[in-house]
Amino acid sequence: MDFKLRALLKSPWVFHLSTGSCNNCDIEILDCLTPRFDIERFGMVLAGSIKHADVLLVTGSCNRQSVERLKRLYEQMPKPCLVVAIGECSLSRGMFIHSYNCPKPLDKIIPVDVYIPGCPPKPEAIIAGVVKLIEKVGGTT
Amino acid sequence: MTSQGLTREGVLKDLEERFRDCIVEVFDKSPKRVFIEVKPEPLVRMANYLFKDLGARFNIASGLDTRSHIEILYHFTIEDLNLLISLRVKLDREHPAIDSLAPSFEAANWIEREMHELLGIDFNGHPDLRRLLLPDQWPEGVFPLRQDYEEWDPEAIRDRGV
C-alpha cells in the first residue's frame, strides 16, 4: 500500500461537504463527533479547510451548481486523498435520479473509495465504513 | 387603514366591491383560506391594496403549469384575522407575461426570478430578471418545471447501473 497514504491514516483529517443534501446525513455526521460515538478516538478531526484534509466526506445528490464546487474542492485537496460517499443521494442520487438538476452520480464525477448507504446512515454505519476504509488502506485503527 | 377592527367578512366584501371588475371568481375554501381569481392586468393594484392598505403579509408566490394555462398564486396572510388569501392569475401558455410586483415590495423579487427561469413567465418591469437557481450552462428557453420538459443533456445518466 501507498506509504504516504498509510501515514495519513493514523489521524485522518476529514472535510465535510454537502452537495445539496437534505441535511439528514450531515446531522448523522455531526452525531459521529459527539461524545456518544466519539469518532475522534480513531484520530478523525473535522478540518476547516480542504487544504488541511485527507478525507472528503460527500453527502447530497450532486446538483449542477454544486458539482462545479465539488470539482474545485477535489482539485485543491492535497493528494493522496480519499473520498467517502455518505447516504443514498451521493451514491446513486436516491429519489432525485430523474431530477433535471442531478445529471450524474458522485462516482462518475470523482473517484470514490467508500460507499456508505442509508437514508440517512446511522452513525454506527458511518464509523464502520470509515474503519473499513482505514483497514483497506492498511492503517491501524 | 390598517387591519385593526376588520372582520373576515368585512375584508372579503370590501375586496369584492372595490375590485368588482377585476375579480373573476371567489372560492371560499375554508375559514382560513380564500382563493380569489383575478385578471392579470389589475393584479398589481390589488396586491398593493392588500399589502399596503390592509397590512397583509406577502408569504410567497407559487407558479403552476396546468393543462390550459400557466397559473400564479400570490399568497397573502392577514394575521389578525388568521386568513390566507391566494390571488390566482391565469396566464396564456404560449407567452406567459404579467406585471412585476417587485417594484412594490422587495419580497417578490427573488420568487419572480425563480418563476421566470423555472416556468418561463416574463415579469414586466422587474428590476433585475437574471437567473437565480439554474447553472450558467443551462440552455436558454428550456424551463424545467413545465409539463412538456424533456431531457436536453446527452451526458445525463438516468439509470442506477444495476
Report the CATH number at residue B51.
Answer: 3.30.460.80
A65–B144: do the CB atoms touch at under 8 Å? no
Q: How many domains does chain B fold into?
A: 1
CB B85 within 8 A of CB B77: yes
* Exposure class string for B84-107: b at 16+ Cβ within 10 A, else e: bbbbbbbbebeebebbbbbebeeb
* Residues from chain B contacting residue A105 (CB–CB below 8 Å): 157
Name the helix (H) or strand (E) containing B53: none
Q: What is the domain extent for residue A40?
A: 3-137
Rounded distance between C-alpha atoms, residue B108 and residue B98, angstroms: 13
Residue B23 resides in a domain: yes
The answer to which of A41-45, A95-99, A118-122 has the lowest mean pLDDT is A41-45
Q: How many domains does chain A fold into?
A: 1
Structure ipTM: 0.71
- Give the three cell numbers for residue B111: 420568487
What are the tens digits of pLDDT across the range A67-119?
999 999 999 998 888 899 999 989 888 888 888 888 888 989 999 989 999 98
pTM: 0.79
Using CB atoms, pick whichever of B137, B144, B157 lies closest to residue A108: B157
Q: What is the domain extent for residue B66?
A: 8-94
Using CB atoms, pick whichever of B133, B149, B155 lies closest to residue A103: B155
Residue B118 resides in a domain: no
Residue B84 resides in a domain: yes
Rounded distance between C-alpha atoms, residue A28 and residue A119, angstroms: 10
- CATH number at A28 reads 3.40.50.12280
Residues 6+ apart with CB under 8 A from B109: B102, B126, B127, B128
Residues 6+ apart with CB under 8 A from B136: none
Using CB atoms, pick whichever of A64, A68, A104 lies closest to residue B157: A104
Q: How far is B45 from chain A (nearest CA, A)?
A: 36
Residue B100 resides in a domain: no
Statement: residue A140 has pLDDT above 70: no
- The stretch B78-105 carries a mean pLDDT of 90
